[in-house]
Structure formats: C-alpha cells, structure tokens
Chains A and B, each alone.
Chain A
Amino acid sequence: MTQNTSGNGPLPAATDDATEDQSWLRRRISGPATAILAATVLLFVASAILQPESLRGSSLAGMLPFAAVLAIVAVGQTLVIQQGGIDLSVPGFMSLTVVIVTHYPAGDSGKLPVAVLGAFVIAALGGLASGLLVSRVGVTSIVVTLGMNALLYGAVLGISGGIPRSTTQALRDIATAKAVGVPMTVVLAVIITAIVGFCIKRTVVGRRFEAIGSSNQAARAIGLPVRRHQLAAYVAAALLYCTAGVLLAGVVSAPSAFQGDTYLLPSVAAVVLGGTSLLGGRGSVVASAVAALFLSQLAQVLLTSGVNSAVRNLVEAFALAVGVAIYSVDWNRVLSTLNVRERSAAGASTGA
C-alpha cells in the first residue's frame, strides 16, 4: 500500500488497463466545461421529470435574469481566481453600482447614462487600486479585496445611508427587454462570456494570462509581464461586477442598498463547480457561466418543489461538495489505493 504514493507511479502490470481507463475517464470528466455542462443538462432533464413547473415560461423568465447576472459575476471571479487570487469585493462593487444607478438618477431616466458611466469609472478605479496593491505591492488578494469591499460599503452607506431607491423605468425596460423571446440579460451574459472566453483561450494575451496564473515564477523567468496581467484581472473583474450590478438594478425593480451581498459565495461556488483551480492557472470562464446557470436552476427547482429552506441549503451544499470532489480529489490515487488494499487483503487471505 505504500508502493504507489504518487498515484501516477508505475503500477503492477495487472492493473495497467484499468488505470488507463480511469485516467481517460478522469480526463473526460475534468475537461473544463464538459462536466458542468453534463450536470446542467442532467439537472434540466431531472427538472422536466420531477418539477415540470420549474421549466414553464414564466418560471424560466424569472430564473434566467438572475442566472445571467450570476454568470457575469462568475466570469469576473474566474479571472481573479485564475491569477491565484480570490475576490471578496464582489458585494461591494455590485451594491455600489446598484446604489449609483438608482440614487443618482432618482427616477429620472435622462440621468441614467451618466450614472451608468460613473459607476463604470468608479469600478475601474476600484479594480485598478486592488490590482495595483496585489501586483505591485504584493499584498495578498484576500486582504486587498476584503479591504476594498469595506471601502466600497462605506461608499454605499455614504451615498444611500442604507436607504434603497427604485430603479428608473429606462433601466428596468432595458434589463427586462427580450430579444427574440430571450431576456436581454441572458443575451448580454452569453456575449460577455463568449468574448472573455475567446480572449483567454484563443488570443496571445489570453494564453499568457493563463500561463502566468499557472506559475508566476515560470512566467517571470521567460519574461512575461506578470504584473500587468494580474492588474488586468482585477480591473476586468471589477468592470464585470459593475455590469452585473447595472443589470441587477434593472431586474430587481426595488433593490435594497446591499443587493450585492448574496453574490459573493455563489460566484466562488460557480467558479469551483466550473472546474477552475482555486490555486490559479487553468480554468474556463464558459464553465463558470454554465455553473452559474446550474446553481440558479437548482435553486429554482428546489423553490418550486416547495421543500423547506433547510433542505434547500443541504441540497445546494451537497451539489457543491460533489462538484469540488470531482475536481479536487485525485480519483486515480483513490482507486489505486483501493486496488492495492483489495490486493493486499486478497494476498493476506491466500497467504493464511
């Protein structure tokens, strides 16, 4: 049993075939978007069988905008996590955006464009500050974004005093508009995910971005501009949170002043379910966005099924645990350990 501590080490010939099968299986299920995509399809099939009401037009129309908002947040969180960080300032950026685009216009749709522009400028500055502290000063991202979140909440309270305002009609119309029957929020989420996904997987900058996330030192050694890419992750993420905040303000017609609060953990959960390593490097924004849809539909099915909130929390936690287990447990090793145990048990019994 101590022979195969690495899991990938040479195994006795008898189990070679089995190991190949297992690693093939592992490669398949850990392919970035495959696993979560399969899980999502499975979830929708299960929904159709168990809770067909949850797939009715009105139900989908209620769920999809929230899923779209979460998807955009998850894409942002993915970028930061790919750089080996974690972004705890999601609630701050989202809430501040919601407050800016509802308080400044105060119902006057004419002032909306300025408010939205202002929100993006502030988000960019906030992201820049976080990014500089992480990449230049070398402060850990968890500390920087925690502090940034507190600062942003200060701004939220400063602007709103904790008092919410209703969304302007124009923003509401935009966020609830439909393009060929598909909610605008979903269209935007798909476009954003596609663009970011393309940039990361198919452009030089994107490939460098992922390489730097994998190993800082290696990237620095071959002369890649590590700091600039890290900085870009925080700025891009902040802009994505801001986009999500604007849409959320439109979707929730009477948002609270702290509307971003409920997005921090789901955003990390979506990234994890999407298979992006929390240690940085390899990852897929598309998988994160799909995971956001998965989490939203899961919540909606559970709501529709009418189970109580305790069961809801348990099921959601279970889904997350399974997701994490699929990616983070070294199944080859577990299986080979089990094999060795079986064999040694068998050996022991024949020996006796």
Chain B
Amino acid sequence: MSLKQRKFPALAATAVLSMGLAACGGSGSSGSGASGGGAGAPANANVPPWCGAKKITLALADGFGGNAWRQVTRAEAKDEASKCPNVTQYLYSDGQGNTQKAISDIQGFTAKGVTAMVVFPDAGKAMLPALRSAYKAGVVTVPYRVSPGGEAGKDYDYFVDTDFKQAGVLWANWLVKALKDKGNVVNLGGPAANSQSQDEYDGMMSVLKDHPGIKFIGQTPYNVTNWDPAETQKVVTGLLAKYPQIDAITTDYGNALASSFPAFQQANRKIPPIATEDANLLGCDYKKAKDSGKGFQLFTVSSQNWMSRLAVQVAVAKASGGVIPKNMTAPQLAFEDSITSKPNPVKCDTSLPADAFLSSKLTPAQQAAALKG
C-alpha cells in the first residue's frame, strides 16, 4: 500500500457503490499523441542514454488517477517519455481505483501490442497475473512503487521501488536535531495495517533506539488517520486532550495535518516541530504561522512524484535497447528543512494549488497544467 493511494480508501466506498455503473465503463484508455518527433532521426547529444535506437510505443497503466499526486506523477512520466524521440506513441489509462478495470487496462494494452508498459499496481498482488501475462506476451513490463509480489525477470522485467524506511530515518535524524535528544513524538499514519506507515515507523525506530530520550506517545506504530483531513483533525484533537506535552509530530501526509492546526489554537498549544512529506499547503501555512509570530519548525522529504521518470527510463531502455539504469530504487531525499535551510528552506508557491508538490521536477507552469486535469 502506498501513500499515493491515500484517496483510494476514501474512494473505495464510492467505487463499490458505483460498481454497477462503472462496470459498463470499459477499458477506456485515453491515448495521447506521440511525444517525440524526428522519426528516424539519428541520436544526438540531447537524447539521454536510456533512449535506445529501436522505435517503441509506451503505456502507463495507472491503478488510480484521481488525485493531485497522481496527476503530477503522470505528467512527470509523460515529460520523461517525451525526451526520447524513439517513443513514437505514449498511452495512458486510469484504473479509477477499480482492480477489475486496472487489470483490463493492462490486458488492453497488451492486446494493442504496446512495446513497453509502466504500471502502478495499486491492488498489489491482485495485479500479478495481469502483469505476468503481459510479460509472457513479450511486453516490457515495469511495475513501480507498490510491490505486486512475484519476481523480476519471471513475472515482469523490473520493479522500480522506494524505501519508505529511509524516509523514517531522515525524519528521525532531524527529530534528534530539533528536539535535542529529548521529547514526546506523535506519529500519524494512513489506514490501519498499511505497509508504508509501518516502514516509516520502523525506519524512525532504527535511529531512535540510540536516543532513548525521544519517545513515541499515542498509538504505535502510528495513529490511524486514513490520510483523511477530517479524521486527522479528530485524532489530533484527541491526542492534544490526552497528552499535555507533545514535542513533535511525524506524518506521511502533511496536507492533512495542516487542516488540524486550528485544533492547536483551540487547545492553546503551540504547533510543535513537524517532520513529513513536502506539500505546498503545509509550506504556505508554515510561512503564515511564521509571519504571525507563531512559527514552528518543519522538515520534509520529497514526495517523489519524479519516481515515475525512473520507471519510464527503465521501461524505455529495456524496450528500445538503451542503457538500463543500474539503481532501480528511487531514493528518499530531504527537501525542506526550516532549521538548516538545507537542501532548501521551506517553500510556498501561492500561484499553485494547495495540493501541488514543489519537490516535483516539473516546471510550475507544467505542474499547474497537470493539476488542471
């Protein structure tokens, strides 16, 4: 389960409700035109090494496409594919959080005869048979971010993943610095039993076991918020009532936390240091709080929208005969740090929507376009 399914559980209810109607939707994969021009043009200096000589068609089969993170991520994938002129056609499909549809999308692309396919397998293992049959049919198949189980080279070509534990390690290192080795920390996570929030907690614990002064309070490994702003607000209210001393908060969905800032005001409490993923809203709220003299410390790791670029590179390289990237794990990177301003001070772009990701590799204009849908 990945962070970017955060709207998925919320949607699931609706998906179930509207199943009868949605089932008629078919596999409506929306094709978007070719990205590279220059048919047969010789490789020039601008062509990246992962772009090989063979002409290919590329598809991105998204398990779910209906939130800001997915839209930005999809735009990053398309942007990356456009760097390789030998990708003659780029196709996209949105599984709409419906496993049936996601499977039929993959089957549709296979039948259509695409050369390479990048897949966000939201449903995890349920997607493995579809991936395997695409792989067996000779399509270069690269799932990313959510593990579908199975084995690279047997069920699909490569799996591009990321290590959420690493995010936890980065947060914990910052906590040690921000709290000076002592304090009570609350960890907020997604739905119960999701692996991402668990991994992040494990990552934090691997650092904090050497710093016994820093303790987790409330539920461990994490307080269940379902990545829902209203639920987060209720959970934070409860925590504030129960614990007179909260010195820091860690969470994998900063935007949801931002909506509970008024709860601190109601309880007459200061907003403690926060370690999370980057989100425009959070950055802007940070600035607002700072300007009004109620500032707090903030540390973020990148939201990794650019991870889809790596998946595209791997798929295109394998299919077109380019140089396949060696490292197939997208690194967790620090993005903003209000204490050291390294690698960046906290950012806020009021011209972009609250749910924009300033760690994206798209230009603000590209991102604004992507978020318009």
Contact surface of A with B, Cβ cutoff 8 Å: 53-54, 56-59, 61-63, 66, 88, 91-92, 146-147, 149-150, 153, 157, 161-166, 176, 248, 251-259, 261-262, 264, 299-300, 303-306, 308-310
Contact = CB atoms under 8 A, between A and B. Distances in A.
Nearest to A61: B266
B67 interface: yes
Nearest to B371: A163
Secondary structure class of chain B's binding surface, majority of residues? helix
B353 A165 contact: yes
Given A163-B355, A256-B10, A58 B231 contact: no
Interface in B1-24: 7, 10-11, 13-14, 17-18, 20-22
A224 B263 CA distance: 50
Contacts of A258: 7, 10-11, 14
Interface string B219-231: 1000010001111
15 contacts: A146-B20, A162-B68, A162-B70, A162-B71, A166-B281, A251-B230, A251-B233, A256-B10, A257-B67, A258-B11, A261-B11, A303-B237, A303-B238, A306-B238, A308-B224
A66 B230 contact: yes
Nearest to A265: B13
Contact of B67 (A146, A147, A162): A162
Interface string B307-321: 000000000000000
A304 to B, nearest CB: 4
A62 B262 CA distance: 9
B258 A149 contact: no
Interface residues of B, number: 51
B36 interface: no
Given A161-B372, A303-B238, A254 B229 contact: yes
Given A166-B281, A254-B255, A66 B234 contact: yes
Interface string B20-49: 111000000000000000000000000000
Given A146-B20, A161-B371, A261-B13, A62 B259 contact: no
B71 A62 contact: no
Contacts of B323: none
Contacts of B66: 157, 161-162
A304 B259 contact: no
B67 A259 contact: no
Interface in B63-81: 65-68, 70-71
Contacts of B238: 54, 59, 62, 300, 303-304, 306
Q: List 4 A-B pairs, minimum CB-CB distance, nearest first.
A: A62-B237, A161-B373, A303-B238, A162-B66
A338 to B, nearest CB: 40
Interface of B: 7, 10-11, 13-14, 17-18, 20-22, 65-68, 70-71, 192, 218-219, 224, 228-231, 233-242, 255-256, 258-259, 261-263, 266-268, 281, 353-355, 371-373
A163 B14 contact: no
A262 B231 contact: yes
A88 B17 CA distance: 8
A58 B237 contact: yes
Contacts of B237: 58-59, 62-63, 300, 303
A269 to B, nearest CB: 14
A58 B235 CA distance: 13
B265 to A, nearest CB: 9
A300 B240 CA distance: 12
Q: Which of B17, B70, B268 has the most CB of A within 10 A?
A: B17
Contacts of A59: 237-238, 240-241
B262 A163 contact: no
A162 B72 CA distance: 12
Nearest to B227: A256
B18 A149 contact: yes
A62 B235 CA distance: 10
